[in-house]
Structure 1
Amino acid sequence: MTARLRSRSLRTRLLVFITAVLVCVCAVMALTTVFAQRAYLMGNLDNQVSDAAERGVGGAALHPELTRDLTFLGESGHPAGMLAARLDAEGDIMNAAVVSQDAPPRSLDTAQANALKDIAQDGSTHTRQVPGLGTYRVTALNAGGVRVLAGLPMDDVLDTISGLVEVEIAVAAVGLTAAGCVCAVVIRRQLRPLGRVAATAVEVSHAPLGRGQVTGLTRVPEQDTDPGSEAGQVGAALNRMIDHVEASLAERQRSEEQVRRSEERMRRFLADASHELRTPLASIAGYAELMNRGTDRIEPGLAWRRVNAESARMRSLVEDLLLLARLDEGRPLQSAEVDMAALVAEAVWDARAAGAGHVWRLELDLDDGPALVLGDEARLHQVVANLMANARVHTPVGTTVIATVESTRTTCVVRVRDDGPGIPAALLPTVFERFTRADTSRTRAGVLEGGSGLGLAIASAITAAHGGRIDVQSTPGRTEFTLELPVTGLPATGTTTAARTAPV
């Protein structure tokens, strides 16, 4: 029974349990009422029996010599159906009669008299079944040798109790039926939110999550997420679980996308690195082959110069790749206090020497103190030099390049701005990625002119290793790289350099 009930719906189980509880409550109340009413009526009847016995003793005491006298039954006031008997010393009935309606008392026969035997003469009441008369409540008294037994019928009490039971059964049946109907309606209404939550869960379970759908999952309506109710708590928990599922799926998709992009970058990196290394190696091998065939086909000095140039190019590329590898591994850099104003000034001088056809300017804004940062001076110089080289190589002669150094209480900002043609919009999002070049054909202007697409990637990696950031904004006629580094936070050790602009 229990197993079958557990397989039913929650609505059915609640209705069964509530009905069972109501039945038990009604049964307890009915039994309590019946027993209380019966005790009350029996108490009244016992009092009446005791009064009748005392009146009988009083009437028999007027003629104690008449041991079989029942004339006191002829007195008025005795209810119909009352019976009385005179007893001897052994308790045997000597004479017994019953009061009739509008008729003299009628004597009891032997069977009826035998039903009244063995009644203790102590005034206690007893229940006896008298043949032909019904159920009686009887008692016996002994007063000075006068022994009288009296009894009253229990039919009225029994009929009252039976009627009360019938009424309570009818009322309970009607009440339980009405309560069951009301409970069914209330339970159905109260479980509707839970049904909507279950429907939402079923709908979510049918969503194609395996195919990567991470948005648009059905949510439990807000009205069914009230934390004040159990159904609302379940609905709110289901919404949180759906949010977690969507977030997890989105994160998995982002991770997979990052892995794909990483694999693509790695394949591209290996292809570009292989090409960059293969080109100088092929040149060196070619010149070596020509020299092995004899010196009449090529001048030895030219061949050696080309071999040295390609070797230098290959060595520079390998050093850049090793530097990026060390930065990717998180190897610590040297740490010392670096004056970025002096470092940028040196880089501008070096750029002027390499690109005399450009206009180079330096601007310093150091009102808040010297531009001191904690880091590797050589690597920071490499960052600024790469930015200068990028502006020199990718802008025409006559372009103005301005390097600005600004210092605040928390950061040192270096800006390299030029008025050249700008970076193509399609290239701008990936300008700091490795082997990113505007010229996809891999042609070179010169052996040591760069062009491998690692300069800005190295600048970004070194900046990140120093806890800074680098970005770029470019439009035709204005390209600006911004380098931000945290300052050391040390007190100034010299006089503040005023803001100035100087051509270099």
Structure 2
Amino acid sequence: MTRGRWTLRRTLVVGTSVLVALAFVAMSLATILALRSFALDRLDQQVREGLSFAVGRDGFGGSGDDDRPSRTDAGIPGPGGGDPGADAGVPGSDAGSPAPRIGTLQAVISSDGTVQISGYTRADGTFVTLSDEQIALLRSSVATDSVPTTVDLGADLGAFRVAAAEDDGLTIVAGSSQTDVTATTSALTVILVAVSAGTLLIAVLGLSLLVRRSLRPLDRVARVAQRVSTLSLSAGSVDIPDRVAAADTDPATEVGRVGSSLNELLGHVQSSLAARQHSEEQLRRFIADASHELRTPLASIRGYAQLSLGEDAPMTPTQARSFDRIESEAVRMASLVDDLLLLARLDAGQTLRRDEVELTLLAVDAVSDAQAADATHEWRLDVTDDLISVTGDENRLRQVVANLLRNAQTHTPPGTTVTLALAREGAEAVLRVADTGPGIDPGVAGRLFDRFARADDARNRDAGSTGLGLSIAQAITEAHGGSISVESVLGRTVFEVRLPA
């Protein structure tokens, strides 16, 4: 899953968990480093105290007073301590001398490199001499400045904090093992890892529950917005009953402000849609009433024009042409009024007849009528042998086919081939009107089904078209539960009507 698809809940839980984990890591590292530093400081202090005790209470290079204890008294065995690695006994076992601590290291080296005594104290208290390699490593790694440093003496002994000093031509080395420090820091690391992992797991579970609970109001607001987004708001009477609950509109919270704003927005949208619907209804009623009222005076004008032209009374050529134009324009206006009235009724949801209509016979009649009306075009019919029928209003469907054929006739030059094809595709009856004309301007194609749309000059539009034919065809097709579309390129334009078969 990509980061862009994460939900807000997952983002909050994961992001907060990562921050908590980083805080645990930082805290654990700081604790471990602080403890290790503190333990090493204590160990260094013990090493310096042991070194100071070995060279004398006055510090190395003292005045040599008789009250300074001898090295044997200080816990450093005398020469002849035995072969390297052999048990030399416990130094300082003489009366009055304290036994060295377990895990400590001591060595006395003369100026000529002779090792007078060297060894370390085992866990059982025995003192074991150091090997020549270990002595060489101490001489090369530890400076005689009494400053402790870490030296790894191998797998048998491990790491030591060692300090060295010179006294009377002798190099005295003292050290303590870091085993306890390493064990302590390792144990602390394990404890911190275990505790941090358990705490982080509890924190993640708690965060999940807390975030889920905190985001429930936002989920409810989102569901309201999602339901509203599925409503069809493009046309018709629209009601938006969904609102965010009062519990999720508290202005004191962020989600509450979102819910309250969404309610206000939905209220404004519903008011705007209601105003739009009211305006559309008023316009439809006006168009329907005006169209209905205009039919009577238009019929009267046409009748009087025909009456005047039918009389034998003499009239000038101008009068005769005027009456002829009055009649033709009255016919054209009557057709426009009828188209507007039909569109207004379809917009108002006028119920259409629901009869069985044989589209095959309807197509045959439409092509025959077009051939009789215009012989300058080549009209073709392409239908299957089977009869294709749909349920609908036969007169309105005839009007759809007639409008498409008339559109092809009007907007293509003489000699254009117009083909009406009818076929069944699945559960649909598909009717196509194709022509070989110059095509439709792409700038006009997007508004071709708008009312009073004007096509470009390339399709030779004449002044007799009202610009409502395709709008009526679309309205009738959609009223039958179908769809209409157009595809056009240079030399081929196809109008396609799909109806439930």
Q: What TM-score do you get using the length of structure 1 for normalisation?
A: 0.50
Cα pair 1:227 1:236 within 8 Å, conserved: yes
Residue 125 (str. 1) matches residue 148 (str. 2): yes
Instruction: Kindly indicate whether structure 1 or structure 2 has the higher relative contact order, using CA contacts under 8 Å at least 6 residues apart.
Output: 1
Conservation of the 8 A alpha-carbon contact between 2:248 and 2:255: yes
DSSP 3-state at the match of 1:218: coil
In 1, Cα distance between equivalents of 2:102 and 2:125: 10
Write out per-residue CA displacement over residues 167-223 of structure 1, whole angstroms, 9 at most, x where no aligned residue: 101110110011011001001101111111121122112223345242243111121
* Equivalent position of 1:135 in the other structure: 159
Residue in 2 aligned with 1:29? 27
- Structure 1 unaligned spans of 5+: 293-504
From 105, 130, 139, the equivalent of 2:127 is 105
Aligned-pair identity in percent equals 32
Counterpart position of 2:338: none
Deviations 1:389-418 (A, max 9, x none): xxxxxxxxxxxxxxxxxxxxxxxxxxxxxx
Question: C-alpha distance in 1, partners of 2:258/2:249?
Answer: 7
Q: Provide the residue aligned with 2:279 in structure 1.
A: 255
What is the rounded CA distance, in whole Å, between the counterparts of 1:276 and 1:187 in structure 2? 78
Code of the aligned partner of 2:241: L
CA separation in 1, counterparts of 2:174 and 2:71? 20
| 2:6 aligns with one of 8, 11, 27 | 8
Q: Secondary structure at the match of 2:252?
A: coil
Seen in structure 2, the aligned counterparts of structure 1 residues 252 and 36 have a Cα distance that, compared at 3 Å, is same
Tell me the distance in 2 between the aligned counterparts of 1:106 and 1:100: 7
Could you say what secondary structure the match of 1:70 adopts?
Answer: coil
1:129 aligned partner, one-letter code: D
Is residue 48 of structure 1 aligned with residue 72 of structure 2? Answer: no
Q: Which of 15, 36, 42 is residue 38 of structure 1 equivalent to? A: 36
| Pairing 1:212–2:236 present | yes
Does the Cα contact within 8 Å between 2:55 and 2:71 map onto a contact in 1? no
For residues 309-356 of structure 1, what are the alpha-carbon distances to aligned partners after superposition, in whole Å with 9 as ceiling and x for unaligned?
xxxxxxxxxxxxxxxxxxxxxxxxxxxxxxxxxxxxxxxxxxxxxxxx
Report if aligned partners of 1:34, 1:165 keep a CA contact under 8 Å in 2: yes
For residues 28 and 125 of structure 2, the distance between their equivalents in structure 1, rounded to whole angstroms, comes to 41
Superposed counterparts of 1:48-197, under 5 Å = 48-58=46-56, 70-71=76-77, 73-74=91-92, 75-89=97-111, 94-100=116-122, 103=125, 105-118=127-140, 119-131=142-154, 132-143=156-167, 145-197=169-221
Corresponding residue SS for 1:83: strand
Pick closer, same or farther for the CA change 1:91–1:36 going to 2, 3 Å: farther
Task: Give 1:14's aligned amino acid.
Answer: L
Secondary structure at the aligned position of 1:217 is classed as coil
1:219 is matched by which residue type in structure 2? R
Letter of the structure 2 residue corresponding to residue 27 of structure 1? V
Q: How far apart in 1 are the matches of 2:122 and 2:302?
A: 139
Q: 1:169 to 1:65 in 2, by over 3 A?
A: closer
Letter in 1 for 2:223: A
- CA–CA distance in structure 2, aligned partners of residues 188 and 108 of structure 1: 66
Letter in 1 for 2:148: T
AA in 1 matched with 2:204 = G
Do 2:220 and 2:244's aligned partners in 1 also have CA atoms closer than 8 Å? Answer: yes
* Partner of residue 448, structure 2: none
**Quick one: which amino acid aligns to residue 5 of structure 1?**
R
- CA distance in 2 between counterparts of 1:182 and 1:202 reads 29
Give the TM-score, by structure 2 length: 0.50
Matches of 1:6 and 1:92 in 2, distance apart?
74
**Cα distance 1:226–1:65, how it changes in 2: closer, same or farther (>3 A)?**
closer
Partner of 2:174: helix, strand, or coil? Answer: strand
Post-superposition offset of 1:33: 0.5
Secondary structure of the residue aligned to 2:256 is helix
* Cα 1:270/1:106, change in 2 over 3 Å: same
Runs of 5+ unmatched residues, structure 2: 79-90, 315-501
Distance 2:133 2:26 in 1: 40
Q: Say which is worse superposed, 188-197 or 205-214, in terms of deviation.
A: 205-214
Instruction: Give 3-state SS (helix, strand or coil) of 2:2's partner.
Output: helix
1:408-419 matches, within 5 Å, as none
Measure, in 2, the Cα distance between the counterparts of 1:276 and 1:207: 48
1: CA distance between counterparts of 2:114 and 2:14?
Answer: 59
Return closer, same or farther for 1:87/1:205 CA change in 2, 3 Å cut-off: same
Which letter does structure 1 place at the counterpart of 2:100? H
Contact preservation (8 Å) 1:129, 1:135: yes
Query: What is the count of residue pairs matched by the alignment?
Result: 284
Which piece of structure 1 moves more, 133-142 or 226-235? 226-235
Q: Per-residue deviation at 1:77?
A: 5.0
The residue aligned with 1:19 is 17
Distance 1:92 1:185, change over 3 A: farther
The answer to whether structure 1 residue 199 and structure 2 residue 215 are counterparts is no
- CA deviation digits over 1:444-482, x for unaligned, max 9? xxxxxxxxxxxxxxxxxxxxxxxxxxxxxxxxxxxxxxx
Counterpart-to-counterpart distance in 1, 2:48 and 2:77:
19
CA contact (8 A) 1:121 1:139 kept: yes
Deviation for aligned residue 1:91: 7.3
* Alignment partners' CA distance in 2, 1:40 and 1:263: 95
Partner SS state of residue 138, structure 2: coil
Decide whether the 8 Å contact of 2:158 with 2:177 is kept in 1: yes
| Per-residue deviation, 1:268 | 5.7
Shift of 1:58: 1.1
Q: Match of 1:97, as an amino acid?
A: G
